[in-house]
Amino acid sequence: MLKAIIVEDELASRETLTNYLAKYCPDVEVLAEAESVQKGLIAIREHQPDIVFLDVEMPYGNAFDLLEQIEDITFDTIFVTAYSHYAVKALNFSASYYILKPIDIDELIAAVEKVKENKARMSQAFHTRILIDNIRTMNAQRQKVVLPVLDGFEVVEVRDVIRCQANGNFTDFFLANGGKKMICRTLKFYEEILSDLGFMRVHKSHLINLDYITGYKKGRGGQVMMQNGDVVDVSPNRKQDLLDRF
């Protein structure tokens, strides 16, 4: 049985989630509910839960404010949020679990199952700790990204990624140490979360870290030379956007 706490400012949302968990996730026991960051902290310290269902936006603070006040995170977090581009982007970056409001039962069951599966494969609260590390890191290139590979997850710093290349429904990551990782996500997914961190989509198949460009060769679209010796094609319709960055 997994012990859970719900931190959510709306009473109706708390009641809905509690009822859904009782009916569809019988191995999750809700020990307490809290309507604010401060009361959530008290409940977490008192009950030592396995899972915290945490609303991202609340009055007088948000989910990240709460988590930053916990020195040793020993629980998994399932974030609950109305759509927020910033929040979803941050959660995807760390491969954290989240469900969107209004709560979809299938998404709730899937999030709980992911927590259960990953408890057996990695240290508790892995994704949440990466998320908090990133929030505390002001330098975008020093942030970490969680990469789901075929047999688990790997964590790399953004600055260590030279480029990403589409590979069907997968993405190949080319790293500064010469390594190459095939990741179980599409290139579009990584374009959305890396575009504000010094990366640019220069071609339908290529997303590059601008810090690793060493040269540009003219042409209809042209090509960029990367620090590791790779040559990447640039689409004609993205050429000017690339040149404008320099």
Residue 180 covered by a domain:
yes
The reply to whether 124 and 169 lie within a common domain is no
Residue 150 covered by a domain:
no
The reply to whether 9 and 122 lie within a common domain is yes
CATH number assigned to the domain comprising residue 228: 2.40.50.1020
The reply to whether 171 and 232 lie within a common domain is yes
Question: What's the total number of domains in the chain?
Answer: 2
The reply to whether 116 and 51 lie within a common domain is yes
The reply to whether 220 and 126 lie within a common domain is no
What does the pLDDT read at residue 37? Answer: 93
For residue range 69-95, list pLDDT tens digits in order.
888 888 889 999 887 776 787 787 777
For residue range 193-238, list pLDDT tens digits in order.
898 889 999 999 999 999 999 999 999 999 999 999 999 999 999 9
The reply to whether 86 and 161 lie within a common domain is no
The reply to whether 177 and 79 lie within a common domain is no
Q: Give residue 44's domain range.
A: 2-135
HEC assignment per residue over the chain: CEEEEEECCCHHHHHHHHHHHHHHCCCEEEEEEECCHHHHHHHHHHHCCCEEEEECEECCEEHHHHHHCCCCCCCEEEEEECCCHHHHHHHHHCCCEEEECCCCHHHHHHHHHHHHHHHCCCCCCHHHHHHHHHHHCCCHHHCEEEEEECCEEEEEEHHHEEEEEEECCEEEEEECCCCEEEECCCHHHHHHHHCCCCEEEEECCEEEEHHHEEEEECCCCCEEEECCCCEEECCHHHHHHHHHCC
